[in-house]
Structures are given as structure tokens and as C-alpha cells.
Amino acid sequence: MAVNHHVSLSTLDVVRDAPVIPVIVLHDAGHAVPLAQALVAGGIRMLEITLRTPQALDAMRAIAQEVPQAVVGAGTVRGGADAEAALRAGARFVVSPGFTPTLARSCRELDLPLLPGVATAGEIMAAQDEGLGVLKFFPAMQAGGAALLKAWQGPFGDVLFCPTGGVQADNAQALLELGNVACVGGSWLAPARALAAGDWQAITNLARQAKALRRPHFE
């Protein structure tokens, strides 16, 4: 079902839409709209634009205004001010590298779905204390990868994860086979070389391949 800009979104909606959420770093806001169009053409609509460059908010604004099929999210959100700025730029969800109760409450006040990063059992418990049960596992491969996700299935069987950090086309499928993984996040869908060359067809092809990845527990 298409998500439009007038329908309330949940974090679960975000992670279940497709097997991969692209983690996008843009140094040229002019790339934002054609990139979003290329990803949407390949079936990927949830787009995480990271707040790692000065162009990020302009890029979000452009996509929100000109590519209605896309659902813009903000990544690298570290506090309430980041979340507010992202919301004003058109973001409909936010992703953070870590978890703090303050950020969780700020996003709740803004009615912005939050996908917060966790890497330890204590952080998962703190997020659950704030009512959050869909979490980003970051940095996934550096922090323990599939082995840690499997270990968490016992004590945290009610939590869903989006592993991000070191996830690539060649290891994404193995993560998606796990019962507690809803999707993965990765930067390989928007490679710098394709962006610089304006090779939007290459990006659409990468998106199609990502969309075709299997999620046996969620299809």
C-alpha cells in the first residue's frame, strides 16, 4: 500500500516497507531529486538522508516537495534540535546512531517515528523503557553482526532490528534470514561514483536488486 504524506507513519512501517533502507550521504543537493526518483523506480521508498553534510536538509526538502512517492527520513540525528530541523525539512522519520531517553522523548513530542541505534543489551533495555521495540543495530558488523543478533533472540525475542554499519550487498541476505531482522541499512544503494556521474540507471538497478532480497520471516 502506498504511503502518502497525509498518513501517519510508524517505525514498523518504515522497516517493513523494503528489505533495505539506503543510507545516503549527499554533498550536492542537486543530486537529491534524481537520486530519489531512481531509488523509487527500483522499489525503494524509505530514504535515510544523513545529517553528515551541510546539504542534507536542502536535499530532504527537495525530495519531500518533488518526489511524493518517496518517504524522506533523516539519519545521524543526535538530539532534539536535529529532529526538529529534519521535521521542518520534510522528514517523516528519523534514525539515530545511538539511543538517549531525551531524544526518544523529543521525537515523541514531535510525532516523529524514531529508529534509534543500539549496540548493547543495556541500550536495548533503555530503549524498551521508552516504548521502543524496533531498533537500529549499529555499527552492526563491527559490534558482532549476525552472531550477536542471534544471541539477542533469546532475551529480546520481542525486538526487531535494522542492522546498519558494514552491511553490503554480499552480506545483507544472511542478516535478513534472521527472525529478528526486519530490514538492513546500507550505503551501497547510492555509491559516490554513480552520484558523481549522474548514473541514475545504475542506482535504479541496485535498488531493484535490494528490493528482491528475501525476508523469509516478514514476507
Strand spans (E) along the chain: 20-24, 46-50, 71-75, 93-96, 114-118, 134-137, 160-163, 184-186
State the DSSP code for 131.
T
- Is 150 one of the catalytic residues? no
Exposure string of 59-93, with b = 16+ CB inside 10 Å and e = fewer, is bbbbbbeebeebbbbbbbbeebebbbbbbebbbbb
> 123, 130, 136, 150: which one is catalytic?
136
- Is 123 one of the catalytic residues? no
CA distance linking residue 127 with residue 131, whole number of Å: 7
Q: Which residues pair with 24 in a beta bridge?
A: 49
> 48, 84, 177, 219: which one is catalytic?
48
Give the active site residues.
48, 136
